[in-house]
Every structure is written in structure tokens, then in C-alpha cells.
Structure 1
Amino acid sequence: MKLIGQRKQAKESAQHRAKRVVMAKLIQNGHQEDRVSSDNRQQNETLLEGTFHYSQFRNGLIVQAGTFYEIAQADVLAKAGPCVCVTLLLSGCIGFGYEGQDHLLDATKGAKAMAVNLARECAFRRHIETSQTKIRKVNLLLRPEWFEKSHLQLPESVRQYLQTHLATWCWEPDSQQLAWCEEMLVAETIADPWVRELMLESRAQLIMLDLCRQLAACAPETFGCEAQSLLRVPDSLSGVVAYLESNLHHDIRLQEVATATAMSVSVLQRRFKQELGFTVLDYVRNRRLEKARELMRQENLSVCEAAYFCRYNHPSNFITAFKRKFGITPGECGIGSEPTTRTG
């Protein structure tokens, strides 16, 4: 099976490689032909190659399992949430992020697991790097209704976790959890579809039981620290922010944003300014600069490539905007192709 995405490549110089930004969607034509294909109308490019499984259950649980290789360089963007996203990585290394938060799971020396709570819809980014290392992972996505058990009250720390947007919980899977993951990764070998789905759901439930026990045993205030430093977006604007985050690499027009979020332009502008204290275009400009800084640090983008990502026509304008926001130029903080200024 193949994961296919459409790349939109920044202008490259001979010395620098640009990160490709892609939008992808799942197309299912039977288990032997499942793939993720771009929404764009240009030639597709294979990003991941291997075996993948996807199952959705009526109780708000989604199970994704895969064994694959990353064979291209790209950032895949999509919308996610509200849900708890649990990633169990048995081998390899993967990078991903939500809004202003980025994560790196490295299982080269042992399996790792992470649960991220998405209290509202937000932008999801998956960072793909060319690698010869096999990646084996299981994802569990649980919508809020999964945690609703009749009229029983949630443990306070679990309730606090579910109310904290982007709250994270990391752990190292034990031997029993790893055995459940191994069964899920080879689910396609079970001939009977009913038995296969029953096995997947039961193993996912057991993993979540272990996770909920961990959460219930910790202090409720554990989850607020990192999320407090992020932009607090009211529910009324969560869809707007998710749309903007998913389209940072495109030209963004207010009318398109308003149409996509069922508002008029005037209502959109007024609500955004009142609730967040700045305009829609200010938000887009700042997030592009922040993302460009991340890519320059992590992917060695040049100033020209970062300027292209931020939609600036000339690198000098990008450098001016970068310094206005961060107080220093890209060269002064040691990123990009601009020479570093030294004094003394």
C-alpha cells in the first residue's frame, strides 16, 4: 500500500532544499489499494509506503495501524479533533504537531507512547522525512463521547486532562501493551472481518484502560503548564483558527475564510478582533513567521525559501518582518543562509 500526497515545493536554490507542504486525504478502494491522495490538482507523489489499517467504531473510537517507510520529505496538513489522539510507536522516529506545539517520538531505543488531548478542532501537521528506518505504530483516536460512561463522574484528573487543550501525557509501553500493538499491526491476517474488528476494538480498549488508570492516578494540575503558554482560542473561533492553520501555505483571503466558517467578512473581522485582540491577517502573518522560524531551524531552509513560505515577494521584506517580530534577524539567531553578525 502507498500513502500518496501532493507536494507544493518552495523555490529552491542549488544549495538548499525546501520542505514540501502537502494536503492529503484517504481513498479506500479495498485493502490492497488504500492510499492517501492530495486534494490538489497536480501530480501525486508517494510519501509513505507500506501496510496500513483503518477501523472506525460506533462508540467514538478509531484505530489506525501501520508498518511503513517514509520515502519523501513533506509536511502533511489536516484538521483534527476534538478527540484524544494516542500514538504508540514501536519502531522508528516520527514528528508531528498541533497548532503551536510540535512533538518528536523516537523509538529507536525502545517503544514510546504519547496521548494529546484536542479539546477543539485544530490543525494537525505530520512531518515526513526520507528514511531507511521502518516505522511501526498504532494510533487510537477517541472522541469525547467515548469517555462518557452512563452518568458516572470522571476522576478529577481525567476531567482536567480532557478540558485542557493540547494537554500531553507520555509513557513507555509495557510488554503487555506492546503485545496488544503487535496483534493490531497484523490484523489483516485474521480472515474473518467480524473477529478482526472485535480484536482491534478490544485491544484498543485495554490500552485506553491502562492510560486512564495512569491519568486518574496523577495530580489534576499536571496538564495545564504547557497549554497555558499557547494562544487561548474561544470555541466560537476554533473553526476559524483551524482553517487558518490548515491553509498557512496558501494565499488566504478574508472572503474565503468567512465562507468556509459560515460568517460574513465583517462579522469574522469583528469577532476575531474582539476575542483575540488582533486581526485575522495579523494572526496569519505571525503564524507564518513562527512556522518559518521552525522550518529554518529544523529543515535548514534558506532565507529565500522561508520568505517564499511566508508569501513575501522579496527576502529583505521577510527579514524586516522577522526582526520586527522576534527582535533579531534570521542570521543573528543562527538560522537560514544569512551570514551571522558577530561583535566584539
Structure 2
Amino acid sequence: MTGKFFHSDHLVWLVNQDQAHEFLKGQYLFRKLNSGLSIHGGTICPSKSLKSGRLINRYVNLIVLLEGDLRFSINEHRYDIEAGEHGKLILITPDNSSLFTRYLVNGERSIKIAIKGIERWIDGDTKDKYPSLYQRPVRIRELDSEQRGLSLNFLQQIMDPSPNSLMLDYSALKLLDQLWANFADDCAEDGETLQVNPDTEFVEQLIMAYQPRLSAQELADCLHLRERTLQRRIKNHFGCTLRDWMHRQKMIQALQLLVQNQLSISEVSYECGYKHVSNFTQAFKQYFDSTPAEIQRSNAPKVQFN
């Protein structure tokens, strides 16, 4: 999908300042509650196709999709979710640094609520109570009639131009309690069946040894392992090939450097081990569905954020 790329914070600012009419129709609001939760919701219908994205770390986002479609990607993985007849619940919990990209398609109307800031309460329970919370980046459930009714009532409160802050917090926490129950048991049950390699020392050594310009053999040499042994341990721990793991690390490092906006694209390309900027740009675009230039432009300093 082609379209203008925004940093997510910039897009939020435009909506809150009522300056997004050029490309967004409908009524959509972002609110920060006294409880620490961030809520946004309403009806949105883009008049132009666009993307918004940002770098996230240990991110928990609970979404109620009441109508329409939700399209997003986490790094190279794309998700296109339809609300269907009754709606969907979507729990988004990527681990480590990731680029979260939201796709808005021209003329595609949707109604949803998003609740963020949940991790401040559940991260303390993750190891014992929800051991697999961050091991699956996206979980999807059907919305039942009671949850749909609560969500619609809460959406009305969000859209009130002068809501009662105490009632809004109360309703948000009540809705969150109802919705989280759909995923809490699943996260706990998954933890009993998933076999997670506890070799944290290996992971720490691997991260310390990794450099973008190292070959697989050179990385294995740094760890005093045979390449085949390293491949096996990567597969056991991360569930992917050594090549895929190294490529992901390279892309995430590139993303972090671009977000910092202190190096040129050619310098980032060099730091990440590419001889030619064109090869770097192609690999980055293929992985994140956004170009390095789009990421840099969207993270450039803006007066309204000062």
C-alpha cells in the first residue's frame, strides 16, 4: 500500500489539534486518563491512504474492533483483521524493539477502541502469572454481546466533549477487567505448554558478541562455538534460523539508528554492514514496508512536540 508515512505521535497531534481533515474523516479522540491508561477510539474513515508507525518496546495494546478492518504490521509480519458480525478483541504484545505500523486505506471506515498502558499493572505478574504474554505478538478473540454492549457504552463516554473524568476512569477499568479475562487464562495456559529455553547466559553472550558486519562463522568464532552448534542453539531458543536472527538484529539496529536521526542513511547503511545504500534500502523496505527516508522524516524534530 502506498501513502504518506507519519510518525504515530505526529498523527495523534494532528488529530487532537483538529488538523487532520485533509486525510481523515469521522470523529476520533485520544484521551489520557487519571489511572494512567491511554484511550483512543471513535470512527475513522481515511480520505487518503496513509501509514503511521513508531518504534515500540514491550508494548501492550488491547483493541476492540467494533466495525470495519484493522490493518497493521509488526516488523515484517502483516495483520489484516476484519471485525465481522459482532466485532473482535485484539491483544498486541510484541517483545523487544519493533516497528509498529498502522495502515489506513482510503475509504475504509472502521470503529474501534484502543486501551494502552496496561503493562504498568501486569508486567510484575508476567513471569509467574503470565509467562507467555510477550511470546505471541498478536492474539485475536471474538467479541461477545456483553462485551460489545460495554464497549459501545464506553465509546459514547469517550466521545463526550466534556466527560466526567472519574466515571471515564471507572468505565475504562471496568471494561478492561471484562476484556482482559479473555486473554489472561490463555497467557497462563500457554506458559505451561511452551518450552522456553532458560539459557539466559547464552542470550546475553550472543547479544554482546553480535556485530552487523560479522558473518555467521565469525559470530560463532566469537562465541567459541561451531557454526552448526550456534545454528542449533539459535533455533532452540528463538525458533528461527541463524540467518533470520542475524537479519532481524541488523534491521532493528538500523531502525534504532534511523529513529535517533543522528546519522545519514548512507552512514546507517555502513554501520549495519551494507556496502551499497541501495541494497540497504531494499532490505529495509522489504522488512518494514517503509523506506529509511520515511522513518527519518517521520522522526525529524517538529515544533509542536517542544
Q: Give the alignment's TM-score, normalised by structure 2.
A: 0.63
| Residue 57 of structure 2 corresponds to residue 81 of structure 1 | yes
Residue 66 of structure 1 aligns to a residue in which SS?
strand
Unaligned runs of 5+ in 1: 1-17, 38-43, 259-264, 296-308, 312-344
Post-superposition Cα deviations, 1:182-203, rounded to whole Å, max 9, x if no partner, equal 1221113374222223322332
**Equivalent runs, 1:118-197 vs 2, <5 Å:** 118-131=94-107, 134-142=109-117, 144-149=119-124, 154-155=128-129, 158-162=130-134, 164=135, 167-187=137-157, 188-189=159-160, 191-197=163-169
Q: Distance in 1 between matches of 2:45 and 2:89?
A: 19
1:21 aligns to what?
4
Classify 1:310/1:234 alpha carbon distance in 2 versus 1 (closer, same or farther; 3 Å): closer
Residue 159 of structure 1 aligns to a residue in which SS?
coil
Post-superposition Cα deviations, 1:79-119, rounded to whole Å, max 9, x if no partner, equal 33321222221101121111111101111433122212122
Whether the aligned pair in 2 keeps the contact of 1:122 and 1:245 (CA below 8 Å) is no
Q: Distance in 2 between matches of 1:220 and 1:65?
A: 35
Residue 103 of structure 1 aligns to a residue in which SS?
strand
2:285 aligns to what?
288
Q: Which of the pair is proportionally richer in strand? A: 1
Q: Which of the pair is proportionally richer in helix? A: 2
Q: Distance in 1 between matches of 2:70 and 2:46?
A: 9
Classify 1:47/1:213 alpha carbon distance in 2 versus 1 (closer, same or farther; 3 Å): farther
**Equivalent runs, 1:98-117 vs 2, <5 Å:** 98-117=74-93
Classify 1:130/1:26 alpha carbon distance in 2 versus 1 (closer, same or farther; 3 Å): closer
For these two proteins, the number of residue pairs brought into alignment is 244
| Residue 44 of structure 2 corresponds to residue 68 of structure 1 | yes
Q: Distance in 1 between matches of 2:102 and 2:79?
A: 10
Whether the aligned pair in 1 keeps the contact of 2:42 and 2:155 (CA below 8 Å) is yes
Post-superposition Cα deviations, 1:302-336, rounded to whole Å, max 9, x if no partner, equal xxxxxxx699xxxxxxxxxxxxxxxxxxxxxxxxx
2:217 aligns to what?
none
Cα-Cα RMSD: 4.2
Post-superposition Cα deviations, 1:254-306, rounded to whole Å, max 9, x if no partner, equal 2xx59xxxxxx8xxx3xx56xxxx789665431324567xx9xxxxxxxxxxx
Classify 1:110/1:198 alpha carbon distance in 2 versus 1 (closer, same or farther; 3 Å): closer
Post-superposition Cα deviations, 1:21-69, rounded to whole Å, max 9, x if no partner, equal 321415669xxx72586xxxxxx77332222232335766322212221
Classify 1:113/1:223 alpha carbon distance in 2 versus 1 (closer, same or farther; 3 Å): farther
Q: Give the alignment's TM-score, normalised by structure 1.
A: 0.57
**Percent identity at matched positions?**
11
Classify 1:201/1:75 alpha carbon distance in 2 versus 1 (closer, same or farther; 3 Å): same
Classify 1:58/1:291 alpha carbon distance in 2 versus 1 (closer, same or farther; 3 Å): same
Q: Distance in 2 between matches of 1:62 and 1:126?
A: 17
Residue 19 of structure 1 aligns to a residue in which SS?
coil
Look up the equivalent residue of 1:19 and give its one-letter code.
T
Classify 1:65/1:98 alpha carbon distance in 2 versus 1 (closer, same or farther; 3 Å): same
**Equivalent runs, 1:246-325 vs 2, <5 Å:** 252-254=265-267, 269=271, 284-290=281-287
Whether the aligned pair in 2 keeps the contact of 1:65 and 1:184 (CA below 8 Å) is no
| Residue 253 of structure 2 corresponds to residue 240 of structure 1 | yes
Q: Distance in 2 between matches of 1:235 and 1:287?
A: 10
Classify 1:50/1:126 alpha carbon distance in 2 versus 1 (closer, same or farther; 3 Å): same
Q: Distance in 1 between matches of 2:61 and 2:246?
A: 20
